[in-house]
Every structure is written in C-alpha cells, then in structure tokens.
C-alpha cells in the first residue's frame, strides 16, 4: 500500500507518529520552521492498514492519504 504526505499541509503536530510510529516520524525542517512528517517505510504492508487509516483520520491537517 502506498502512503502520500502533503508537506504544504503538514505542521508537525505528530498525531501520525503517535498513532503509527512504525510508519511515520516527525523530523526537524532545515530552516527551523514547522517540523514535518517523514515516512519510515515507503510501502508499508497490509497488516498496518488499520493503524495507518487511524493516522490519516487523526491528522488535524489532512496531510496524509492512502493510495491503493
């Protein structure tokens, strides 16, 4: 399954990391502005789908989506 992140929308709240740390982590940005999400694994397997769906749902900025 593919996971997409939209960094124009991410403000580094970290709800995804809190919900599915296997898939998402929050990293510092180069310029000191908002931290932002980064994928720990590019193609997580189906076993993680439920957790990822939760992370997508809990993102306050709708910055995450699932593809496929």
Please report, as ranges, the residues that interact with other proteins according to CB under 8 A: 6, 8-9, 11-15, 17-18, 29, 31-35, 58, 60-62
User: Is residue 61 within 8 Å of residue 11, measured between CB atoms?
Assistant: yes
| Residue 2 β-bridge partners | 67
Q: How many whole angstroms separate alpha carbon 8 and alpha carbon 50?
A: 25
Tell me the closest approach of the beta carbon of residue 1 to other proteins, in angstroms.
20
If the CB atoms of residues 17 and 44 are measured against other proteins, the closer one turns out to be: 17
If the CB atoms of residues 19 and 44 are measured against other proteins, the closer one turns out to be: 19
Under DSSP, the state recorded for 14 is -
């Amino acid at each position: 399954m593919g996971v997409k992140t939209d960094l124009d929308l991410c403000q580094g709240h970290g709800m995804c990391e809190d919900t599915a740390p296997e898939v998402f982590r929050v990293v510092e940005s180069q310029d000191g502005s908002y931290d932002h999400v980064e994928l720990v694994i590019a193609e997580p397997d189906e076993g993680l789908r439920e957790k990822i769906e939760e992370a997508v749902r809990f993102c306050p900025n709708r910055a995450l989506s699932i593809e496929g």
